[in-house]
């Protein structure tokens, strides 16, 4: 039986790329009772209301900075998918307090409201930028991850709210993605590349929807789920999608990494292999004495889950297959 059968699901940041895709995915499931979009963008909500005519879809204007509004929105909600965040790296470096108020304090508000309203499950949508962060956006996502994991302590041994995290890399099909940028720059005949060595993990948005659905049915609270992903060199992606264009190297940007990491060496020591994904078990879990996923395989020794590792890095010939183009 589906973990979503008869459930009311609320998505914070529900008008963004992830949110819209998740709404579409959930409404394709006849067993889902209700889907609620929670966001502060009333224009995008009105657009979605015209796009989706399913009567199970409702909209709630609000900001995750407003705990009182979250309390109202979470009334009789079973599951919260927390995707709301400020994400633009340069803008957040210039406006650090705004990043903290939304990405950290906002996440705390979501957690508090979920516990107070007895929401059964909360899944926080994180990013590879949260791993060994070098910019403020990544640092706020790292803090939000830690908050989400540790907040399982709030329920003690009698509460019902389970909170887990899913962490992944670049999303194919998202707004402002590299593929979208390449399509725009193709018209000029020149593509801009920050560094020829740069690599990134890739996952299609359709696969993320399936991943999130699966996690909601298996999560025990406190884990960080990491899908198994392949990586590609950015230059290979550009040359495959725009073979006639020139590539201009402009130098690495502030706050940008050459390679992204999904699991650190320290996390690898408590990571388990579930077949199609890895699970990072919480280092501290006073809320439960039982072992997480006792039958799962341990994470392979001497493996570093970084995008330039030969185990994950694919050649140019795999670009279109990975990007599903």
Q: Which residues are the active-site residues? A: 129
On whether the CB atoms of residues 273 and 297 are closer than 8 A, the answer is yes
Helix axes 178-185, 234-241, angle to 10 degrees: 40
Cα–Cα distance, 170 to 191 (Å, whole number): 19
Residue 187 CB-density burial (10 A; 0-12 exposed, 13-18 middle, 19+ buried): exposed
Q: What residues have CB less than 8 Å from 188, skipping those under 6 apart?
A: none
Residue 173 CB-density burial (10 A; 0-12 exposed, 13-18 middle, 19+ buried): middle
Cα–Cα distance, 27 to 232 (Å, whole number): 32
Q: What residues have CB less than 8 Å from 70, skipping those under 6 apart?
A: 38, 62, 64, 109, 110, 113
On whether the CB atoms of residues 8 and 33 are closer than 8 A, the answer is yes
Please report the DSSP string for 112-137 in residue order: HHHHHTT-SEEEEE--GGGSS--SHH
């Amino acid at each position: 039986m589906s973990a979503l059968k008869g459930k009311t699901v609320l998505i914070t940041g529900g008008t963004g790329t992830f949110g819209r895709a998740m709404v579409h995915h959930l409404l394709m499931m006849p067993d889902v009772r209700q889907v609620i979009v929670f966001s502060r963008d009333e224009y995008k909500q009105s657009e979605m209301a015209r796009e989706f005519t399913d009567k199970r879809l409702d909209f709630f204007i609000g900001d995750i900075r407003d705990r009182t509004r979250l309390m109202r929105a979470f009334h009789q909600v079973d599951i919260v998918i927390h995707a709301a965040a400020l994400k633009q790296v340069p803008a957040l470096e210039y406006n650090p307090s705004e990043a903290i108020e939304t990405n950290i304090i906002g996440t705390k508000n979501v957690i508090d409201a979920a516990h107070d309203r007895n929401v059964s499950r909360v899944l926080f949508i994180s990013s590879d930028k949260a791993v060994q962060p070098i910019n403020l956006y990544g640092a706020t996502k790292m803090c939000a991850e830690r908050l989400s994991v540790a907040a399982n302590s709030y329920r003690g041994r009698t509460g019902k709210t389970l909170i887990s995290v899913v962490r992944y890399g670049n999303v194919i099909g998202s707004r402002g993605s590299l593929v979208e940028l390449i399509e725009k720059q193709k018209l000029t005949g020149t593509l801009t590349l920050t560094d020829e060595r740069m690599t990134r993990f890739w996952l299609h948005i359709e696969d993320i929807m399936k991943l999130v659905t699966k996690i909601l049915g298996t999560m025990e609270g406190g884990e960080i789920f990491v899908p198994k992903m392949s990586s590609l060199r950015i230059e290979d992606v550009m040359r495959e999608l725009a073979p006639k264009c020139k590539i201009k190297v402009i130098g690495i940007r502030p706050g940008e990494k050459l390679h992204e990491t999904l699991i650190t060496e320290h996390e690898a020591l408590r990571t388990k292999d579930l077949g199609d994904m890895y699970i990072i078990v919480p280092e501290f879990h006073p809320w439960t004495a039982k072992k997480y996923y006792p039958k799962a395989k341990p994470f392979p020794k001497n493996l570093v889950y970084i995008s330039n590792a030969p185990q994950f890095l694919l050649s140019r010939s795999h670009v279109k297959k990975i990007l599903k183009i």
